[in-house]
Amino acid sequence: MRIVLGVGGGIAAYKVASLLRLFTEAGHDVTVIPTEAATRFVGVATWEALSGHPVSNSVFDEVHTVNHVRLGHEAELIVVAPATADLLARAATGQANDLLSNTLLMAGGCPVLMAPAMHTEMWQHPATQANVETLRSRGITVLEPASGRLTGSDSGPGRLPEPEAIFEAALALAGAPSVPATPPLSASDALLASPRGPLAGLTVTISAGGTREPLDPVRFLGNRSSGKQGVALAAAARDAGAKVRLLAAHMDVPPPAGVNVVKVETALELRKAALHAAADSDVIIMAAAVADFRPADVSGTKIKKRDDVADPVISLVRNPDILRELVETRDAASRRQLIVGFAAETGDADGDVLDYAAAKLRRKACDLLVVNHVGQDKVFGEDTNSVVILSRTGSEPQEASGSKSDVAAAVIDRISAELSRVVPPA
């Protein structure tokens, strides 16, 4: 694929050398267009050597090839990293004062991904947020910056996402159009999210409710999940300052205000939405009750009751393990992301609930596992819950009980505590 890699004049420009390597090693043909400011951070020689192409930032170089027109037309994907506040503003207002901004205007229908990086104040400034909103409304994918240590001693949202995360998001954008859209969080959602709080500036994706696996056009295999716990988690994460994306399977309750809702029906739809959303999520909480199995065959017409044929037998096939896939994808990309699973367990003669839960945590390798004990009429649909939070680090299991909002607050507190322990170095 022909990729244009625009580099803005931010301190994180050095990290983009790794992103360039990821693209070229995956066999892509990359032309780098640094801004003039970017060349003060990383020299043209580095980009030329790593890309194998000449590098320029002026429309007046190689005029006979009309570089800005050619690059814009030929690009199959444009990635801008770091996207400075200045570049976002120039792109949003359609300026064309260097080779990169000209190329962005010439891009036509090719997918464009911008990965911002700047100080938190610059990122949260209404001017920058309005520019981001404008770009997103035009179909440009603007990633949320990661949170953590910034250039100086300060920390907060504004870090460039890791090169692997940008790489994956960019390729998904260019090559996986079948993935259900997980719309970017809108400015109004951001306004509803508290600007303060332990999760301020973080993007949290939460799945909730129960999946439904179709048998025929009118029947499905479902489960008793009401979605109440997932909805309470979404509200608690929002109140803690996060931007929240709720992957909503079937729920008996409405989603809370101020969160972005992506509706899904089946486990396979949830899988696609979750993997897609993972690209810009700092925290993923998988609280949905996902069917382990789905019918092997889905009838296109209603299955009829007939006296002349035997009653149908439903064969099932296994659904993918979404939680495990999320963990594997994160680890493969060395991405900083906290992943939380939920487990509804019952004890039996071979072990109690916590034995089974601990084994599940080892299998899934997520960071936290929130375990609730299900039995007859326990938990599903009720307004109260009682859970134990297990951590992969092996720290003491933590109990939480009360209303589902109380339990959600305890889970969000625990997540905040885990995150504050893993703030990355600069």
Active site residues: 223
Burial class (CB in 10 A: 0-12, 13-18, 19+), 422: exposed
Local structure of residue 289 (DSSP, 8 states): B
Q: Of how many residues is the chain composed? A: 426
Closer Cβ to ligand FMN, 35 or 134, answer by number: 35
Closer Cβ to ligand FMN, 82 or 201, answer by number: 82
The least distance separating ligand FMN from the CB of residue 213, rounded to whole angstroms, comes to 46
- Percent helix, strand and coil across the chain, each rounded to 5? 35, 25, 40
The least distance separating ligand FMN from the CB of residue 123, rounded to whole angstroms, comes to 8
Closer Cβ to ligand FMN, 55 or 235, answer by number: 55
Contact residues toward ligand FMN (CB under 6 A) are: 8-12, 35, 37-38, 82, 84-87, 117-118, 122
The least distance separating ligand FMN from the CB of residue 103, rounded to whole angstroms, comes to 13
Closer Cβ to ligand FMN, 150 or 379, answer by number: 150
Q: Report how far apart, in Å, the C-alpha atoms of 12 and of each of 38, 95, 194, 348 are.
A: 10, 23, 27, 53
Burial class (CB in 10 A: 0-12, 13-18, 19+), 305: exposed
For 36, other C-beta atoms within 10 Å of its C-beta total: 13
Q: Strands, E, within 37-136: which ranges?
A: 77-83, 112-116
Q: Report how far apart, in Å, the C-alpha atoms of 336 and of each of 68, 405, 424 are.
A: 36, 27, 9
The least distance separating ligand FMN from the CB of residue 113, rounded to whole angstroms, comes to 16
Compute φ and ψ for 364, nearest 5 degrees.
-80, -30
For 63, what's the count of Cα atoms within 13 Å in the CB-facing half-sphere? 1
Closer Cβ to ligand FMN, 90 or 228, answer by number: 90
Closer Cβ to ligand FMN, 35 or 416, answer by number: 35
Closest Cα to residue 28, out of 55, 59, 5? Answer: 5
Only one residue has tokens 């500036």, namely 201
Report the C-alpha gap between 416 and 421 in whole angstroms: 9
The least distance separating ligand FMN from the CB of residue 36, rounded to whole angstroms, comes to 6
The least distance separating ligand FMN from the CB of residue 81, rounded to whole angstroms, comes to 11
